[in-house]
Chains A and B, each alone.
Chain A
Amino acid sequence: MRAEDDRKALEKEVKRWEASTLRNALESLPERRKEFVTTSSRPVRRLYTPLDLDGKADETRVGKPGEFPFTRGIHPTMYRGRLWTMRMFAGYGSAEDTNRRFKYLIAHGETGLSVAFDMPTLYGYDTDQPEAKGEFGTCGVAVSSPEDMRLLFHGIDVGQVSTSMTINSPAAVIWAMYLAAAEERKVPWSKLRGTIQNDILKEYQAQKEWIFPPEPSMRLVVDTFEFGSKQVPQWNTISISGYHIREAGATAGQELAFTLANGMEYVRWGVERGLRVDDFAPRLSFFFNAHNDLFEEIAKYRAARRIWAREMRDTFAAKNPRSWLLRFHAQTAGVSLTAQQPEVNIVRTTVQALAAVLGGTQSLHTNAYDEAYQVPNEAAARIALRTQQILAHESGVANTADPLGGSYFLEALTDELEDEAYQYFDRIQDLGGVIPAIRKGFFQQEIANSAYRYQREIEDKERVIVGVNDFVVDEQPEVEPLRVTEASLKAQVERLRRLRRTRDAKKHEHALDRLRKACEGDENTMPFILDAVRAKATLGEVIDVMREVFGVWEEPLLY
């Protein structure tokens, strides 16, 4: 009764405000626009009050940090205990080039590594294969062999630092190279910490770095879950990624919904393999975008944690609280960077990074201001890292858990995003699940539609992008170029040829034969991939074997 009376009193109070104070204000100064919307075109009301929560924001939905449903964060103390990991995505040219960049970033205070691979590596081609022509090292580092992997981490203590690797279709192979390199350096696998992205579903939906069809790809993913849970217990065997879904054009709600739908699909596949959910779920991690709209982004992270905790506990019957935790990495929105007045990107990135921190991220990459032109140069990468350090040490936002929790606006947005996600879950289920929906082009079309609408809004100036469709200046931007050298390419090709010349040919052939048989059967492929890598097989050679057995994916064409 009491709550009902309070609500009525509040309704009355809001009506009074609308009829008096607000009306007078609108008469003297009308609002700037008819409708206010978020970056994702979600309508935003003039004022939020407890009425917008309507009993939803009770303790069971919001809770306390470190407790179910983790809306306010996964740790009780959040950044008071430990700051997020400052993990700068880096890679260009050869392993030596990128190793230098890693050491530069570590010297300037980054606290975790993150490897960007070049296109041939992402597609499982060696640098000297014809398909790789022109693509060596341009948007990441080329890793064609265990030898490249060794050089990439030369002089870096892999038993200490955690390493994230953005690699998907060939994830098992690249991971095997990392494991083999650690083995060679006598670092036990039990000490290794890091993440392979390994999220193939979003490749079909958005990032498009696929090789094999969905079923064998999912098998490889579950192979890594199974292998990792037994042999590399501190490793995150997947980073279920909304980042690329968003970059390809999705709204915040679509990013949230598709990512979590994919996450649940991986859990289903793991369970169907016969794994116990609590054996692998604690090593599932996530990766989200941090776009321009501060509150919408924060709400997205909070909704994600709440949905995941509930689904893992109630739908998948996970008993270990660690299985309920949605731990995530965030990256500021590459797609928001402008080629016009590029230095202004530093400000955009700051706002986006702030959203990730206020949303409780575990790890963060901040983009450099020159990335609408190229892979960042050193100076630009350092400013990006400094942006995080300012948020951590100067802004004060890391002093308390979930600082915006309880804001009527934020809690209402969190609820709305959660509702939108569940609506999408139903639609995906109606299409037969995630993989059938991929085959029908559902996600791809939803994303393309959102991308087109966003672009039209910019064209029609319904949306202002500073420096692009307003506040424009006529000047030639100056960006210090970063170039991959011919010398790096030559050295890389020479290294590959030497490796093929000097390895034990018999051992190599035998390992690839055994791998082929494992792929044809239903054994876990990881031990065979590891043996192939130990026998100095290159990435291209291993993937060629798999491509022959598994076939290749052809995507539905649409725009």
Chain B
Amino acid sequence: MPKKIRVLIAKPGLDGHDRGAKVVARALRDAGMEVIYTGLRQTPEDIVEAAIQEDVDAIGLSCLSGAHMTLFPEVVKLLKKRKSGDILVAGGGIIPEADIPKLKKAGIKIVFGPGTPLRDIVAFFETAGKGA
């Protein structure tokens, strides 16, 4: 049996909107992945630490407060610093179109905006297992 894909769903910063993160966590679990949900108010350091401890293949970051430009790239930077740059990082939330190219340049593999079908999100995380 192939190893189950492990995903960390994380809420960086102070944002309390957790509806999307929880729905995604459940969809990934229903798709057969191991999902670890961090809960709210995680610093980039907390998230990277949890990702390494839990030996995940990918991280899904959710932010609806507008702090994504500060917090998302910080996670990627810290992962690299901890020699864990192979962990895929995806982002989602209320993110203006103009920010998406900048986030991708900073190492966020993909950004899921409002209205993204869950199957697209599941499909992305399934690719995370292939590299492992």
Q: Which residues of A contact B (CB under 8 A)?
A: 119-120, 122-123, 125, 131-135, 138-139, 203, 207-209, 247-249, 335, 337-340, 372-375, 448, 451-452, 455-456, 459, 465, 467-469, 476-477, 479, 481, 484, 555, 557, 559
Contact = CB atoms under 8 A, between A and B. Distances in A.
Given A247-B19, A557-B39, A559-B25, A373 B97 contact: yes
Interface in B90-132: 94-98, 113-115, 117-119
A338 B40 CA distance: 24
Q: Which of A132, A208, A340: most chain B CB closer than 10 A? A: A208
Given A135-B65, A448-B19, A448-B22, 4 more contacts: A134-B69, A139-B66, A479-B96, A481-B96
A248 B65 contact: no
B14 A555 contact: no
B66 A338 contact: no
A375 B71 CA distance: 19
Given A455-B118, A555-B40, A557-B37, A120 B14 contact: yes
A372 B37 contact: no
Interface of B: 9, 13-19, 21-23, 25-27, 35, 37, 39-41, 64-67, 69-71, 94-98, 113-115, 117-119
B115 A559 contact: no
8 contacts: A135-B13, A207-B16, A339-B114, A372-B115, A468-B115, A479-B96, A559-B9, A559-B25
Contacts of B35: 559
A559 B94 CA distance: 20
Contact of A339 (B19, B22, B69, B115): B115
Contacts of B39: 555, 557
A459 B65 contact: no
Contacts of B67: 119, 133-135, 138
Contacts of B118: 455-456, 459
A132 B67 CA distance: 10
A188 to B, nearest CB: 36
A131 B13 CA distance: 8
Contacts of B113: 339, 372
Contacts of B66: 135, 138-139, 374-375, 484
Given A335-B19, A555-B40, A372 B94 contact: yes
B101 to A, nearest CB: 13
Nearest to A458: B117
Considering the complex of A and B, which 8 residue pairs feature the smallest CB-CB distances, nearest first?
A134-B70, A138-B66, A208-B16, A119-B14, A559-B22, A134-B67, A339-B114, A559-B25
B19 A248 contact: yes
Contacts of B70: 133-135
B94 A374 contact: yes
Q: Which of B35, B40, B95, B114: most chain A CB closer than 10 A? A: B114
B119 A459 contact: yes
Nearest to A484: B66
